[in-house]
Amino acid sequence: MPKISKTSKMKIKGKRVASWSLNARKSCPGSKNPDGTIVDVCQGCYATKNMYNFPVVIAARDYNQQDYQKADWVDRMVKQVSKYDYFRWFDSGDVETPELAKKIRAVMLATPNTQHWLPTRSDKIEKIQDVLTRGRTSIYGRGVNYISDLTNVSLRISADHVGLNNKERPGVNSYVINPGDLFECKRQGIFLCPVTSPGSTQKSCDTCTMCYTDKPVAYLVH
C-alpha cells in the first residue's frame, strides 16, 4: 500500500486532499547546480527539518521509494488517488527518474476527476523533462501526453534562487521570496501564498487552490 500523507497545511475546506512524497535531497536531481553544489533555494529546504526528521516520516518516504518501482504501483496508486479531490505530489522530494515521471503521468491520466499539483526542479534533467513538458529538448512530437498538457494537472516549475531578480530557466512559475521582494511580487502580479503572507494567521490552504492552477505563485521564505 502506498504511503499517502495528509499534511495539515494543505487542508482545503470541504475537499479531500492528500499527498505522496519521497525523502528530500535523496530524490532531488534538480536541486544541484552543474558544479554539484546545492541551488540557493534548496539550501534551507524545509523538508530536511523538524517533523521531516522523525524516524516514522523518513521510513514512510523510504518505503515509497522502493514501492513505486513495483510493477503494480500505478494501479495501486490510482485506487488511492481517485479518492481525493486534490492531490499534491512531493511535499518532500522530487521526480527522481524518468521511470517515476512516466508512472506519475499514468496515474494522472487515470484519475481525471482529481486535480494534481506537481512542484518540481527535475525539468532540468533532459530525460525527465521529456515526460514533464514539451520543452526545448523534448524528443517526442504532438499527440504525446506531456504532464504539462494534462488539464487536471498544475505543473509547477520551481525557481532555483530566492527572490525575483534572478535569471531563471524558462517555465518557472513558483518562487520563494524575501520580504524585500513583496513590492516586486505585487508589481508583477504574482500571487502570494496567504499562509506565508506577512501577519497572516492562516494555517492551511483553507479556501485557496491557487497552487493547483498554472498561475505564478510566490511563497515568502519561512
pLDDT tens for each residue of 118-177: 999 999 999 999 999 876 555 555 556 899 999 999 999 999 999 998 889 989 999 999
> Is the residue at 104 inside a domain?
yes
pTM of the model: 0.93
In-domain check, residue 188:
no
109 and 146 Cβ atoms separated by less than 8 Å: no
Does residue 215 fall inside a structural domain? no
Which pLDDT does position 144 carry in this prediction? 63
Residue 49 lies in a domain: yes
Does residue 78 sit within a domain?
A: yes
The answer to whether position 132 is within a domain reads yes
Which stretch of DSSP H or E encloses residue 115? strand 115-120
Contacts of 163 (CB under 8 A, 6+ apart): 175, 176, 177, 178, 180, 181
CA atoms within 13 A on the CB side of 5: 24
In angstroms, the CA 205 to CA 40 distance is 26
Is 180 among the domain residues?
Answer: no
Total of domains in the chain: 1
Q: For 210-221, how does the pLDDT look when each residue is reduced to its tens digit (9 = 90+)?
A: 999 999 999 998
- Residue where the block lists cell 484519475: 111
Residue-range definition of the domain harbouring residue 44: 8-160
For 82-129, what is each residue's pLDDT tens digit?
Answer: 999 999 999 999 999 999 999 999 999 999 999 999 999 999 999 999
Residue 172 lies in a domain: no
What is the four-CA torsion angle of 87, 92, 97, 98, rounded to 10 degrees?
Answer: 30
